[in-house]
Amino acid sequence: MPEMKDKVALITGASSGIGRATAEAFAAKGARVVLAARRDGEMATLVAEIEARGGQASFVKTDVCAAADVQRMVDHTIETFGRLDYAVNNAGIEGSFVAIGDLPEDEWDRVLDTNLKGTFLCMKYQSQAMLKAGNGGAIVNVGSVNSFLGFPTGSAYVASKHGLVGLTSSVSAELALQGIRVNLVCPGVIDTPMHQRLRGVIGDELYNDFLERRVHMKRKGQPEEIAGSILFLCSDAASYITGTTLTPDGGMTLTI
C-alpha cells in the first residue's frame, strides 16, 4: 500500500519545475494532490496525466499574493478532498537582476509579495485548516541557497529568500505542540525554467564555470531530486524534524 494513501497534499507553483515534480511524487506515493498556480493550462494537463496513472488530483488557479485567492485555494482543497495533510509552498519568482540603485520600488514589492508575503498567506490559511481538523500536518516552504548567500544584483530575490528562514523558524515554534511540522528546503542549481532563464542572462560559459567551481557534484540538480527532499520532510520518517532547513545543493554551500 502506498505510504501516503488517503492523505492530501497541496502544492503551490505546481505548473512547472520543482512544484510539478513534487505533485507527481506525492501522487506516486498514493496522496491526493491539489495543484495551485497562476497558469491553469499546465495544471489541467498535469491533472490529466496524474489521473491517467490512477491518481487523484485537482487544480485551482491561484495568485499567492492575494489573500482571497489563497483562502479559496485552501477551501477548495478541503471541499474537494475533505482534508489537508501536507502543504508545499513553492510558488516564487526571481524578478529582475539589477543594481540596487536601479531597482524600481514596484519590482522590489513584486518579488517580496510573491516569495515572502505569499508564503506567509499560504501558511496562515493552511495552518487554520490543519488546526481546525486537529490531525496535525506538515508544511514545507521552498527557499534557495540564496536564503544564506547573496549575489550582486539579486537584492530583492535574496532578501525574500532570507526572510523565509525566519518565517519558517517562527511558525514552526508556534505550531509544534499542535502536531504541525514546518520546515524549509533550500535547493541549489536545479534544472528548472527559472534557472534556464538565469543561464540565458549570464551565458553558458559563466554558468558552466560556476557549476564546475562551486558545486561539489559538478552538475545541476533535477526537480525530482528536490521533490524527494520535500516528501521526506512530509513523511513519518521526519516525525522529529521541525523548524529546520534542508539544503539539497550538491555541496554548493560547502565550497570554500
> How much is the pTM?
0.94
Residue 236 lies in a domain: yes
Give residue-wise pLDDT tens across range 94-129. Answer: 898 899 999 999 999 999 999 999 999 999 999 999
Domain region containing 235: 8-192+223-246
Distance in angstroms (rounded) separating the CA atoms of residues 185 and 96: 23
CA 58 to chain centre: 18
pLDDT digits (tens, 9 = 90+) for 174-208: 999 999 999 999 999 898 877 777 666 667 776 77
Residue 86 is a catalytic residue: no
Q: Residue 61 maps to which CATH number?
A: 3.40.50.720
Residue 199 in any domain: the answer is: no
- The Cα angle at residue 78 between residues 77 and 82, in degrees rounded to 5: 120
Q: CA 46, CA 51: separation in Å to the nearest integer?
A: 9
Q: What is the pLDDT along the chain (256 residues), one digit of tens a residue?
A: 468 999 999 999 999 999 999 999 999 999 999 999 999 899 999 999 999 999 999 999 999 999 999 999 999 999 999 999 999 999 999 898 899 999 999 999 999 999 999 999 999 999 999 999 999 999 999 999 889 988 888 899 999 999 999 999 999 999 999 999 999 999 998 988 777 776 666 677 767 777 777 888 888 899 999 999 999 999 999 999 999 999 998 888 876 5
pLDDT of amino acid 202: 64
If we measure between CA atoms, which residue out of 219, 244, 214, 216 comes closest to residue 229? 244
209 belongs to a structural domain = no
Other CB atoms within a 10 A radius of the CB of residue 212 amount to: 10
Our count of domains for the chain comes to 1
Strand partners, 60: 36
pLDDT attached to residue 1: 40
Does residue 229 belong to any structural domain of this protein? yes
In a domain? residue 144: yes
In a domain, 218, yes or no: no
Active-site pick, 86, 125, 157, 207: 157
26 domain-assigned: yes
Q: Is residue 2 part of a domain?
A: no
Q: Is the Cβ–Cβ distance between 34 and 8 less than 8 Å?
A: yes
